[in-house]
């Protein structure tokens, strides 16, 4: 007698002679297979790209799909080829010459399934599997799981430490609410793809344990840590940081340790080092401070090996900028102390930015020192330097070497990183980054010669679609900037931000495109509803337009996963 869970599928004799039968049970198309005296039931849709499995070949307990030749174990539906995913399998019973199938999949928990697939996709660097996993897990509301699992994977399996992939993942997670709803899954997918790529073929990392120590003084850990980073002693720095974390020193103390080490030398690795440190703290904002022990030490390989700008000729000649900065740093704490006695509201951002862009460095540092002593908050000065960096992008002339886009990009994103670090854990140590960021803006003044004029609103009606169309052709930098100027003049700021996000995500964007979009949104929000915010968006637009279009393969993979998720037949004629 039939149980309540199983449904009659076909007669056994009929199946024996046909080998395979496709049956429709409880809304599912199920493939029933007879092989070597046993009966099996699988979902008839190949989990890879949807080809009907009944058109495959069955032999020796294995079904092979004919489209990309993925192989599946008949008894479980598990694939022998991880690119293909597992196909749901169903329990069967043979009674009284009839085959019965239980239409409930053997693995009903989709969260467990997609979590496992996410891990396999990261391990094997399989973009389509990652796309399907993101879609599946986002549908289940498991965004935090995606971030936590991907972060754990990217941190554990990379001896080289923090990666550009983790930076992209974190930046996209932070910007999810800013992006158009239809772009949010794609944003996470980009992060996963870059983490998998950054981790492929890398040696794993083995943690050093904390010290078993009675030393509890926070300043001692700060001194040790800075000293070990200065001498490029990665192991000693790791044990110091890990011990400070295990002792539960306050989060802003830990942040000060890292930010101080990032600013003990000038403009480390063109600003990437401090930006990575910020992103590590932002990742912890998403997944929880309990992961600090795994996340923060990953910064150290990069921190100890970073290029120090004071060792660069361009920073030494013809002006010895490290000497100027060193003199200013010696006064900085006293300036800040004096300023905190009479803090003031301040609105001189634009004037100071012009000073930073065009003034000689000694005079510029003197002006900034005066403002600090006058009580202008450090965060106002930090965001002004970021704004000056954005103006370099606005006026960058395309007659420069193409690679010099990166030069102005680095300064802008570094200045943004200083601004974010000041907001997280302000101290005289991290405030040094305001000054070397301003110095970097000064050093790039020749990239605004000739000076590209800022676009003026034309009065023409424009749409986000007009803007996106300019990204379809190479080098439409000024056209894109002009359209953004028109959109901003008509108060379509939100449309510009989401359209730029869409323009970014539909490309095979590299690290710098993600980095500049994130920094641009942060600084735009800082200066929203002002001409300064508009300038930031125009600068970011010009950079993104200069780097578009690409072949857009990442988006194609993601769209394929979306179509499969909707149940579309990719193999059928459109």
Contact residues for ligand FES, defined by CB under 6 A: 46, 48-49, 51, 65, 67-68, 70, 84
Nearer to ligand FES by C-beta: 81 or 152? 81
Of residues 51 and 517, the one with the C-beta less far from ligand FES: 51
Whether the Cβ atoms of residue 535 and residue 458 lie closer than 8 Å to each other: no
Is residue 509 within 8 Å of residue 540, measured between CB atoms? no
| Least distance CB 30 / ligand FES (angstroms) | 17
Contact predicate 435/368, CB 8 Å = yes
Of 48 and 302, the one with the shorter C-beta distance to ligand FES is 48
For ligand FES, the closer CB: 135 or 382 = 135
CB of 46 to ligand FES, least distance (A): 3
CB of 82 to ligand FES, least distance (A): 12
Minimum distance of ligand FES from residue 74's CB (angstroms): 15
Instruction: Kindly tell me which of 124 and 314 has the beta carbon lying closer to ligand FES.
Output: 124
Q: Which runs of consecutive H residues, i.e. helices, occur in 425-510? A: 428-443, 464-470, 477-489, 493-505
Helix (H) or strand (E) run with residue 224 in it: helix 218-230
**Closer by beta carbon to ligand FES, 68 or else 95:** 68
Minimum Å gap between C-beta 43 and ligand FES is: 12
Shortest Å distance, C-beta 127 to ligand FES: 14
Angle between helices 110-124 and 127-139 (to 10 degrees): 150
Q: In what order do the strands lie in the sheet with 62-64?
A: 57-59, 62-64, 71-73
Closest to ligand FES by CB, 49 vs 155, is 49
Helix (H) and strand (E) counts in the chain: 25, 10
Q: Report d(CA 279, CA 519) in Å as an integer.
A: 11
Q: Measured from the CB atom, is 49 or 425 closer to ligand FES? A: 49
The CB-of-111 to ligand FES minimum distance in angstroms stands at: 24
Nearest distance in Å: CB 65, ligand FES? 3
Q: What is the DSSP letter of 28?
A: E
Question: CA-CA-CA-CA torsion for 471, 473, 477, 480, nearest 10 degrees?
Answer: -40
> Residue 71 Cβ, how far from ligand FES at the closest point, in Å?
9
- CB of 84 or CB of 538, closer to ligand FES: 84
Q: How far is the CB of 31 from ligand FES (least distance, A)?
A: 13
Taking the complex as a whole, how short is the minimal distance between the CB of residue 84 and ligand FES, in angstroms? 5
CA–CA distance, 519 with 526 (Å, rounded to integer): 11
Compute the residue count for the chain: 574
Q: Which long-range contacts (CB under 8 A, 24 or more apart) does 208-215 make?
A: 208/235, 208/238, 208/239, 208/242, 209/239, 209/242, 210/239, 210/242, 210/243, 210/245, 210/246, 210/247, 211/239, 211/240, 211/243, 213/243, 215/243
Where are the strands (E) in 110-186, listed by range?
none
Question: Which is nearer to ligand FES, 61 or 210 (by Cβ)?
Answer: 61
Tokens 């073929």 correspond to 201
Query: Phi and psi (nearest 5°) for 31?
Result: -100, 120
Token readout for 330 is 């010696």
| 329 CB-near residues (< 8 Å, 6+ apart) | 432, 435
Is the bond preceding 318 in cis, omega lying within 30 degrees of 0? yes
Using the minimum distance from each CB to ligand FES, give the nearer residue, 65 or 101: 65
């Amino acid at each position: 007698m039939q149980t309540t869970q199983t449904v009659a599928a076909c007669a056994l004799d009929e199946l024996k002679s046909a080998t395979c039968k496709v049956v429709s049970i409880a809304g599912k198309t199920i493939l029933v297979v007879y092989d070597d005296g046993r009966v099996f039931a699988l979902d008839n849709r190949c989990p890879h790209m949807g080809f009907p499995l009944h058109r495959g070949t069955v032999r020796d307990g294995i079904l092979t799909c004919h489209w990309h030749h993925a192989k599946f174990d008949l008894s479980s539906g598990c694939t022998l080829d991880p690119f293909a995913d597992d196909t749901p399998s169903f329990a069967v019973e043979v009674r009284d010459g009839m085959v019965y199938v239980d239409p409930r999949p053997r693995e009903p928990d989709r969260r467990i399934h997609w979590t496992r697939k996410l891990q396999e996709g990261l391990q094997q660097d399989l973009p389509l599997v990652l796309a399907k996993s993101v879609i599946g897990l986002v549908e289940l509301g498991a965004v935090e799981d995606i971030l936590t699992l991907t972060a754990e994977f990217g941190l554990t399996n990379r001896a080289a430490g923090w990666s550009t992939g983790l930076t992209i993942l974190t930046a996209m997670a932070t910007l999810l609410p800013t992006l158009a709803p239809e772009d949010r899954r794609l944003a996470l997918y980009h992060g996963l793809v870059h983490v998998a790529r950054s981790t492929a073929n890398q040696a794993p990392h083995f943690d050093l344990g904390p010290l078993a120590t009675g030393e509890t003084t926070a300043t001692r850990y700060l001194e040790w840590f800075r000293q070990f980073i200065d001498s490029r002693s990665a192991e000693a720095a790791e044990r110091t940081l890990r011990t400070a974390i295990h002792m539960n020193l306050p989060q802003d103390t830990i942040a000060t340790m890292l930010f101080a080490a990032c600013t003990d030398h000038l403009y480390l690795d063109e600003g990437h080092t401090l930006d990575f440190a910020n992103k590590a703290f932002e990742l912890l904002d998403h997944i929880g401070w309990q992961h600090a022990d795994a996340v923060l030490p990953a910064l150290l390989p990069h921190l100890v090996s970073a290029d120090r700008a004071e060792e660069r000729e361009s920073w030494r000649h013809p002006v010895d900028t490290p000497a100027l900065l060193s003199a200013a740093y010696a006064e900085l704490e006293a300036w800040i102390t004096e300023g905190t006695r009479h803090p003031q509201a301040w609105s001189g951002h634009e004037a100071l930015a012009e000073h930073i862009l065009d003034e000689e460095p000694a005079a510029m540092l003197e002006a900034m020192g005066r403002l600090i002593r006058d009580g202008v908050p450090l965060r106002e000065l930090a965001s002004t330097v970021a704004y000056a960096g954005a103006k370099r992008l606005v006026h960058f002339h395309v007659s420069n070497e193409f690679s010099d886009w990166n030069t102005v990009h680095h300064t802008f994103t570094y200045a943004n990183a200083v601004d974010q670090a000041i907001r997280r854990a302000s101290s005289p140590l991290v405030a040094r980054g305001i000054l070397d960021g301003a110095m970097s803006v000064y050093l790039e003044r020749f990239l605004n010669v000739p000076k590209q004029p800022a676009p003026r609103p034309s009065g023409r009606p424009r749409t986000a679609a007009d803007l996106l169309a300019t990204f379809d052709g190479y080098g439409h930098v000024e056209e894109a900037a002009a359209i953004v100027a028109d959109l901003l003049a008509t108060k379509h700021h939100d449309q510009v931000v989401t359209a730029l996000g869409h323009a970014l995500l539909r490309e095979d964007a590299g690290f710098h495109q993600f980095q500049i979009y994130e920094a641009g949104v942060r600084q735009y929000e800082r200066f929203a509803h002002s001409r300064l915010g508009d300038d930031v968006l125009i600068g970011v637009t010009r950079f993104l337009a200069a780097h578009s279009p690409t072949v857009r393969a990442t988006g194609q993979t993601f769209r394929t996963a979306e179509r499969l998720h909707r149940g579309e037949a990719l193999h059928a004629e459109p």
